Amino acid sequence: MDDGSHIIMLAAGSGSRMGGPKALMRVNGMPWWCWQHDRLSMLKAPATWVVSQPVHDELERAGAPLKMVINPKADAPMLSSVLVGIRALAADPPGGVFILPVDVPAPDAQVWDCLDARQMPAIPWCQGKSGHPVYLPWRWVQAMLLPLESHGDARLDSLLESDSIVVETDDADVLVNLNSPSDVQAWTDR
């Protein structure tokens, strides 16, 4: 991965289908944020976690070694958290950002490297479907996201439609979305 890239982990949602915030769910006896932190640590790239106030408080109590920013509108659409994350980086902008929802297991390093190498908005593609993380060069973030006053009805995938490329990968984790206990069980069984 390019040394100038930064990861934004989106973990502000309430996780209503999971019964609570997904960052805090337990997977094989360990909090999910630990799984994600361990997987991201192997990449040696800085990460900022966009969290709700309750998730922040719980992670602080647990002594989580995470850089966190709070999305005060945690019930807002995902783009709200993306904007909170990129604004937290705007004073010292990275070369680009990866956007990863907390409920998508961080994929192998080769996925991140392939996306980052494109130097344009890039989306992983596996088994004929798009997935995560999404890579955004900072120049695109400056032009398309920083000017947004609020998220309104905009969606990141809609903003990326004409500007992005897809990058083929065989890492099926880019397609995983841990929305329910059965999703978690299927992922751990695999």
| Residue 136 confidence (pLDDT) above 90 | yes
pTM: 0.93
| 147 phi/psi in degrees, rounded to 5 | -70, -15
Residue 15: the pLDDT is 80
Domains of the chain: 5-189 (3.90.550.10)
Q: Which CA distances in Å does 180 have to 24, 52, 63, 146?
A: 13, 20, 26, 33
CB count, 10 Å around CB of 188? 11
CA distance 86 to 48: 9
pLDDT of residue 170: 94
CA distance 81 to 148: 13
pLDDT of amino acid 165: 92
Whether residue 84 has pLDDT greater than 90: yes
Mean of pLDDT values over 182-186: 90
> Beta-strand (E) ranges in 1-120?
5-11, 26-27, 30-31, 47-51, 67-70, 96-101
Q: Tell me: the pLDDT tens digits for 28-66?
A: 999 999 999 999 999 988 999 999 999 999 999 999 999
Mark residue 143 as left, alpha or beta (left: phi above 0; alpha: psi -120 to 50; beta: remaining).
alpha
Q: How much is the pLDDT for 1?
A: 63
pLDDT at 97: 97
Would you say residue 151 has pLDDT above 90? no
The span from the CA of 30 to the CA of 27, in Å, is 5
Q: Would you place residue 169 in the very low, low, confident or very high pLDDT band (cuts 50, 70, 90)?
A: very high
pLDDT at 126: 95
Name the burial class of residue 76, with classes exposed (0-12), middle (13-18) and buried (19+) by CB atoms within 10 angstroms of its CB: middle
pLDDT at residue 110 tops 90 = yes
